Amino acid sequence: MKTKENIINKVAIISFIKYISIPKNEKIENTNNNEKTIIEFKPFSLSSFMIISQGLYSSTVNIQNDNKTYTLSLNFNHYNLEKILTYTNSENKEYILKEIDKEINVIRKVQLKDKIEFTVLSKLGELEENEHEKFIPLEVHDIL
């Protein structure tokens, strides 16, 4: 349930991103608070996304603060994509659905014809790691 106490406003996101962006050599611990904190982005602008696997997608947003760029990663499933597509025109929706049906086993980027704006509620995902960093992506909790 969405309450005023568990929504972090967009101004607080910078502190949050600094917290979850952890250099590869540092240790990170799960505090089991992931389910309690819901972060609202209003509006969230989607101009492209990556197809990670069938039914799993990811988008990134860069946020500037103190002359530094922070990248926020947002993961979502096909159910959430269907909700997102209710906020766009039929031509853009049709294009996106055709794009995700192509080569479903290949990780690739889908560039939208028209940007889609909507409100997203998100929560912390699971720790991920690559050769440069450890990070915790945000996962879509709901699309409003």
pTM above 0.75, yes or no: no
124 close to 138: Cβ distance less than 8 angstroms = yes
Q: Which residue segment(s) compose the domain that 104 sits in?
A: 4-143
Residues 41-82 pLDDT 10s: 888 889 999 998 889 999 987 777 778 777 788 999 999 999
142 close to 121: Cβ distance less than 8 angstroms = yes
pLDDT at residue 36, as a whole number: 61
6 close to 36: Cβ distance less than 8 angstroms = yes
Looking at per-residue pLDDT, the higher value among 119 and 23 belongs to 119
- Report the C-alpha gap between 105 and 53 in whole angstroms: 6
- Report the C-alpha gap between 15 and 31 in whole angstroms: 17
pLDDT at residue 109, as a whole number: 94
Number of domains in the chain: 1
**pLDDT > 90 fraction of the chain, expressed in percent and rounded:** 35
Q: How confident is the model at residue 127 (pLDDT cuts 50, 70, 90)?
A: confident
- Report the C-alpha gap between 136 and 126 in whole angstroms: 6
Select from 50, 52, 51, 74 the least CA-distant residue to 61: 74
Looking at per-residue pLDDT, the higher value among 110 and 72 belongs to 110
Q: Averaged over 121-125, what is the pLDDT? A: 87
Rg (CA), the chain: 16
Tokens for 27?
Answer: 């240790």
